[in-house]
A and B are shown apart, each in its own frame.
Chain A
Amino acid sequence: MSSISSPSVRGAQAAPGQGIGLYLAIGCLVAVLGFALPFVGLPKNLLALLTSASISAILATAVGFLVRQAGLSSFGHAAFYGGAAYAIALLVKYTSLPAEVVVLAAPLLIVGLGVVVSLILLRTNGIAFSMLSLAMAQAVYELVMKWRDLANGEDGLRIRFAREIFGLKLSFFQKADTMFLVTWAVLVVVIAILVLVSRSNFGTLTIAIKNNEERARFLGYRTLWPRVVILALSALIAALGGTLFALYNGYVTPSLLHWTLSGEALIIAIIGGTRSVWAPAVGAFVFVILRDVAGNYTTHWQSIVGLVLIAVVLTLPNGIGGALTAFTNRFGGRQNG
């Protein structure tokens, strides 16, 4: 009778779900403090760096969310990111649509594409998914490289935006001190929405499908479409990142579509950690700043970043985010929860 009547309880461990208030408070604080950054006299190039980092953070969040909710490591998110940026460049070049329409339509176009692609991709899992996503994304890269008449091949395209977008001067989107506010706002909203999704019934279902698809099916659930929705959402967020990049930089090159960009986003997500929705974004800021600092001291910045990656993987199995969570739990008094 013992095990039924007195289940073993191994130490008092806080339940996920308790102590959410603390995380919410920290999250709100960081979000609000971020908006103050352009007003505290930071050097221009640091703000520019932070703006790029926020855009990288959006892409890494997209990639990390797919790992977290679906267990899928994409090597092809550059196709969504660069795809949205190229969609903007091409729509501006070949149509006379207002810039506002172009900026809103491009990510939606990419999501539509993402849904179609996901119906093929999601027949696979694990390594097969990673390889197929890599192959499909590289096909887009090759197309842009080879079809010079379309998008100027490896030279890329300058995007001739109108002088005003959404009633704001173009320079608002192309100067770091103002654009940072936009990229930061998008990042904050994206993370907030993804946290809500991950905590919803739907989020629970997708974790269940990731853990044990067959049992989920036997509990009466369809298991393909929730994965499609997660992939489409992830694609949308990557596309938002690409849209912001296009707005900020005003040009596109094929490197935005290259698999190394997808790989970098995945590395960033892993450094940050994929247990929490927000962790890949933390990874992005660490990565971009580290790359910049390392680049100031040595031309071999890649090896420094590589060493840091190895150190993180070896010492922090759940990434920087996992370490931060453990730290917060310890000093937030959650262990007695």
Chain B
Amino acid sequence: MADGYMLEARGLTRRYAGFTALNNVSFALREGEIRGLIGSNGAGKSTCMDVLTGRGKNPIGTVRLGGEDISKLSQRERRAKGLSRSFQKTSIFPDLTIREQVRLAARNAELDNSEEVISELALSSIADRLASDVSYGDQRRVDLALALVGRPKLLLLDEPAAGLTVEESLSMARMLRDLSERWKLTVMLVEHDMEVIFAICDRLTVLHLGEVLTEGDPESVRSNPEVIRAYLGSSFA
């Protein structure tokens, strides 16, 4: 990691039968950075996370994690290297208790901090209940806990607050910010709520039609006319 980048992605590309969902996308994240990945529906944000994690057939592009090329590794091996992710749709284990599944998620990590994560995410009082038995908001935090446990090097979060109230998403965002500082996490966050994005992101990458439209700090992205036209709309100008 000579140049100080935790994640370097170059030329990420994904084509579906005649349709290019992601075209030659490159970016780099510094250690400890929270990067917002934004763009309109269908811009390629989830696809970008898929290619980074090796999900789906023939991911194209190179991915370096902490300086090491992991492009050829399987999803499982990437996780072992410290690359963790959550999915856009809640993806948990309904028939396991919250504690059981967080422990399960920690078992392949170098560090088992499952109890710490359970308490940081305010899951302690419901930890022994089945995940199918708790509210949607709780399930979203279980989902986050599965990705967060074991202190991964890089955390890819695909709309972790989707479906939560504004208040809940902001509180989740603040918690993320807090944890990323204390645990030195590098995070890439997909989020539609600009309030959340501006509250916690150090830098933003804007995708449009599968390509990087621009990248920069939140202020400059907010005032970029191209971004306003393609995504934000005039209300954010």
Contact = CB atoms under 8 A, between A and B. Distances in A.
B135 A218 contact: no
Contacts of B129: 13, 15
Nearest to B79: A220
A10 B133 CA distance: 9
A6 B171 CA distance: 12
A218 B79 contact: yes
B97 A219 contact: no
Contact of A221 (B76, B97, B130, B138): B76
B96 A15 contact: no
Interface residues of B, number: 46
B146 interface: yes
Interface in B194-211: none
B95 A211 contact: yes
Contacts of B126: 7, 9
Interface stretch (A152-160, A200-208, A265-273): A200-208
A207 B167 contact: no
A222 B76 contact: yes
A16 B97 CA distance: 8
Interface residues of A, number: 32
Interface in B80-119: 80, 84-85, 87, 91-97, 100-101, 103-105, 107-109
B91 A5 contact: no
B168 interface: yes
Nearest to B53: A218
A4 B141 CA distance: 8
Contacts of A205: 104
Contacts of B103: 204
A291 B108 CA distance: 49
- Pick from B55, B76, B97, B164 the residue with the most CB of A within 10 Å: B76
Contacts of A36: none
B97 A17 contact: yes
Interface string B175-186: 100000000000
A212 interface: yes
B122 interface: yes
Interface in A170-214: 201, 204-205, 207-208, 210-212, 214
A1 interface: yes
A216 to B, nearest CB: 8
A148 interface: no
Given A208-B96, A211-B95, A220 B80 contact: yes
Given A15-B97, A217-B75, A4 B122 contact: yes
A1 B167 contact: yes
A212 B93 CA distance: 6
B32 interface: no
A299 interface: no
Contacts of B138: 3, 7-8
Contacts of B125: 7, 9
A4 B97 contact: no
A2 interface: yes
B174 to A, nearest CB: 8
Interface string B129-149: 110011101100100001000
Nearest to B81: A220
B190 interface: no
A215 interface: yes
Contacts of B193: none
A39 B122 CA distance: 56
Contact of B137 (A8, A13, A214): A8
B123 interface: yes
Q: In the A-B complex, list the 3 residue pairs whose CB atoms are closest, starting with the nearest.
A: A15-B128, A220-B108, A220-B79
Given A211-B94, A218-B55, 18 more contacts: A1-B167, A2-B167, A3-B168, A7-B123, A7-B137, A8-B137, A8-B138, A10-B135, A15-B97, A17-B97, A204-B101, A204-B103, A208-B101, A215-B93, A218-B79, A218-B85, A220-B76, A221-B76
Interface of A: 1-10, 13, 15-18, 201, 204-205, 207-208, 210-212, 214-222
Interface of B: 53, 55, 75-76, 79-80, 84-85, 87, 91-97, 100-101, 103-105, 107-109, 121-123, 125-126, 128-130, 133-135, 137-138, 141, 146, 164-165, 167-168, 171-172, 175
11 contacts: A2-B171, A4-B122, A5-B122, A8-B138, A9-B125, A16-B130, A204-B103, A205-B104, A215-B92, A215-B93, A219-B146
